[in-house]
Amino acid sequence: MTRTRALIAVTLATLVVVAAAALVPVARAADPIKLGFGMALTGGLSANGKPALLAVEIWKDDVNKKGGLLGRPVQLIYYDDQTNPSTVPGIYTKLLDVDKVDLVISGYGTNLIAPLMPIAMERKLTVMGMFGLANNEKYQYPNYFQIQPAGPDPQTSTAIGFFELAARQNPKPQTVAIVGADAEYPQNALVGARELIKRYGLKTVYDKTYPPSTVDYTPIVRAIKATNPDIVFVASYPPDSVGMLRAAHEVGLQPKIFGGGMVGLMFTTVMTSMGSMLNGVVNYDFWAPEPPFLAIPGIKEFLKEYQARAEKAGVDPLGYYLPPYSYALVQVLGQAVEATKGLDQQKIADHIRATEFNTIVGKVKFGKNGEWAKGRTLMVQYQKISGNSIDQFRGPGKKVVLYPDEFKSGNLIYPYAAALK
Amino acid sequence: MFSWDLLANAVVAGVLLGGFYAAVSLGIGLIFGLLDIANIAQPAFVILGAYAAYVMNSAYGLDPILTGIAFTPVFYVLGAVVYRIYYGSFERRGEESLRGLVFFFGILFIMEVSLSLKFGVDYRLVQAGYIGKSFELAGVGVSFRYLVPCVVGVAMTAALYLFLGRTFYGRAIMAVSQDQAALRLMGANPVQIKTIAFGVGIAAASLAGALLITIAPVIPSTDRDYIGRMFAITVLGGMGSIGGTLVAAIILGVIESLMATFFGPSWSLAVSFGILLAALAVRPAGLFGR
């Protein structure tokens, strides 16, 4: 009797253990690792959000072709944030609580990263930021890492190369006009520009902002021209970048150096449409098809794949601005997962903080506030562009890198008017 | 920083901008001002016109303005179809006020998403010989990029003014905006007249879109930048006054330009809309409203 009872007890206990084991979710080899994010697939930033998504998809396919991460396939779960920051908390709450994602990355852009920060901090997530400017300056959250190569001082990063190049000219330019849109990025860039103007001992003769919905930029450019500045620094989004450049040509604004922080000029449709009007503009950028960048392992294969898929995806056909960095961002995350052999958020963050990664944009090492330990915002000059052919932008020589010196691929044509000839 | 030279340039730039604003607002002036239909989707039709100009320009090198003119019959038919759906679904049942508004919101979003799916979300621009060129007359610079849309905008206003005042259908449209029952007693069908008017309003969007992409790059969501301005100009000019639309557009353009030149462009829109509010406080029916 006692033996029978013991047998029943052991059988029941075994059943309970087996049942419990069946109920507890255990990651099996076939279970995908879920990477979740919101992305601007519609709305104002979608021209960058959609190429960024394509780059992440290419990374996922590349990883899965090689057997996945930790032997498990990678699955992307993403939602359109509509370029609307108010959608971000809902999207990430769903990703974490309903979709049960294992890893998160941010959507594209400063405004869309900002609402993610409190959620990431509350849940102690490791979060990779995609092109956010100074998002972590106030939070100082240790598990945030940002892929835009702004460096430890993101506010001055857009403008530093521009003013550094200006200061190297002889005679040194003296007066400066700064103008930008009433929006998050341009305002940050203008704050940085003001700081640099003080640092380089320049005199401000014009400092104004304009609403993003401005239609006619000629009155603004004419007002700038009336102050006769040596330097014109513009912090603008794509429609205003085009508007300002066209107006500069129509009004005949020819300072000694022109450009700075004009988002959109590097987009392929804008480059091909603006054509020779771009000549002489000195502008920030993050990537250019110049020898120092084309030599980095993996980049040529990535661009080949991206360009093959771009037309079908309806995105920028060359993908020289954001896509390489979007790919690099998930490369870093993937390498950290492999190195830590798990999905522990803290271990992943600790590894990312301590490691230098090899990516398709070069070596990436994070430093203060999760920004790149050393900034690498480029200053390029558009040179010798003629006509509107896309092919001229595929190779070197049209977007010459002037700054920083270690990536320099050509010389500044100075003053601006000389490059227009 | 004041100079007479800058003032003259600012006024001329404002007038040119106003001519363009008039072109963009004429359709809504007709549909909202005369027919009293709150067609929130009108800016989306303008963007559709812009994409038509982009396609013909990039594929065949056709001038955007010519494309805008060539596509007006297509847009007219499109407008007529949209109005018939609106009429059958809402107006006939007397549910046009709120549900009709939702209907047009829906059309706006569907058009935005359709354009995104078809063309992606890259900024689209057109090439034309006059873009980026300018000339100077007595110290005043004139950009062809704004001069051409202004001339076309004024021509569109004149054409619509003559159509409404001198033709049978034009007068019928004016009549339908005043008293539908009386029009019916005269043997005319108000629904048919409104269909024509709505079609003409949407046809104007074809040309307005071509002018828009001549001035600035577009993406499918560019329409949102224009909703406020279009309705503001229509209301300021006086509901149903085509000439008033042109005057209001020029007033807004000149104010924006003067503010951008002398006081800082940030104030442009705020002051423009402040003046709109002040004008409506004095003349609630608008400058030329009945």
Please identify among residues 225-244 of chain A the ones whose CB lies closer than 8 Å to any CB of chain B.
226-227, 238-239, 242-243
Checking if the pLDDT of A13 tops 60, the result is no
* Contact state of A182 with B266 under an 8 Å Cβ cutoff: yes
pLDDT tens, position by position, A122-158: 999 999 999 988 889 889 999 999 999 989 888 888 8
Tokens read off for A136 = 């972590």
A340 at the B interface (CB within 8 A)?
Answer: no
**B56-72, pLDDT tens digit by residue?**
999 999 999 999 999 99
Query: How many structural domains is chain B composed of?
Result: 1
Within a domain: residue B16?
no
Residue B11 lies in a domain: no
Using 50, 70 and 90 to split pLDDT, how confident is the model at B225? Answer: confident
The model's confidence at residue A22, banded by pLDDT at 50, 70 and 90, is very low
Sheet bearing A33-39, strands edge to edge: A74-80, A33-39, A103-108, A127-130, A144-146
Q: Does any domain span residue B126?
A: yes
Distance of alpha carbon A163 from alpha carbon A245, whole angstroms: 19
- The whole-angstrom distance between A180's CA and the closest CA on chain B is 10
* Nearest-Cα residue of chain B relative to residue A227: B1
* Highest CATH level, class, for A33-149+296-370: alpha beta
Query: What is the average per-residue pLDDT within A46-66?
Result: 95
User: DSSP 3-state assignment of B142?
Assistant: strand
Whether B258 is covered by a domain: the verdict is: no
- Amino acid at residue number A81: D
Pairing status of strand A203-210 against strand A399-403: unpaired
A388 touches chain B (CB under 8 A): yes
| CA pair distance B273, B279, nearest whole angstrom | 10
Confidence of residue A21 (pLDDT cuts 50, 70, 90): very low
Inside any domain, residue B232? no
Please tell me the distance from the alpha carbon of residue B130 to that of residue B64, in angstroms, as a whole number: 11
Predicted confidence at residue A275, as pLDDT, reads 92
What local confidence, expressed as pLDDT, does residue A343 receive? 96
The answer for B 79-118 residues in CB contact with A (under 8 A) is: 112-113, 116-118
Residue B173 lies in a domain: yes
Name which of A102-111, A387-396, B89-98 the model is least confident about.
B89-98
How many residues in chain B? 290
Position A24 scores a pLDDT of: 43
In a domain, B3, yes or no: no
- Would you state the pLDDT for residue A23? 44
User: What residues of chain A lie within 8 A of the CB of B125, using their CB?
Assistant: 242, 269-270, 273-274
Say whether residue B227 is in contact with chain A using an 8 A CB cutoff.
no
Q: A211, B221: Cβ pair inside 8 Å?
A: no
Taking residues A239-252, report their average pLDDT.
94
| pLDDT higher than 70, residue B52 | yes
Instruction: Establish if B120 touches chain A: CB-CB under 8 angstroms.
Output: yes
Mean pLDDT of the A79-85 span: 91
Contact A312, A54 (CB under 8 A): no
The string of pLDDT tens digits covering residues A275-302 is 999 999 999 999 999 999 999 999 999 9
What's the pLDDT at A83? 86
A19 pLDDT above the threshold of 60: no
- Choose among B1, B123, B127: nearest Cβ to A264: B123
Report the chain A residue with the minimal C-alpha distance to residue B57. A273
Q: In terms of residue numbers, what domain contains B205?
A: 23-223
Q: Does B145 touch chain A (CB under 8 A)?
A: yes
Q: What's the pLDDT tens digit per position in A26-41?
A: 445 579 999 999 999 8
Q: Looking at residue B178, what is its pLDDT? A: 82
Whether residue A39 contacts residue A82, with contact meaning beta carbons closer than 8 Å, is answered with no
In the structure, what pLDDT confidence band is assigned to residue A9 with cuts at 50, 70 and 90?
Answer: low
What's the pTM?
A: 0.85
Interatomic CA distance for residues B239 and A23, integer angstroms: 68
Task: Check CB contact under 8 Å for A209 and B261.
Answer: no
Please tell me if residue B7 touches chain A, with a CB cutoff of 8 Å.
no
The verdict on residue B12 lying in a domain is no
Tokens of B193: 């007249």
Q: Which fold has domain A154-285+383-420?
A: Rossmann fold (3.40.50)
Helix, strand, coil proportions of chain B in percent (round to 5)? Answer: 75, 5, 20
**Would the CB atoms of A247 and B126 count as touching at under 8 Å?**
no
Tell which wins on pLDDT, B116 or A339.
A339
Q: What is the pLDDT of residues A163-183, one digit of tens each?
A: 999 999 999 999 999 999 998
**Which residue type sits at A224?**
I
Domain range annotation of chain A? 33-149+296-370, 154-285+383-420
Whether the per-residue pLDDT at A303 is higher than 90: the answer is: yes
Q: What is the mean pLDDT of residues A77-89?
A: 94
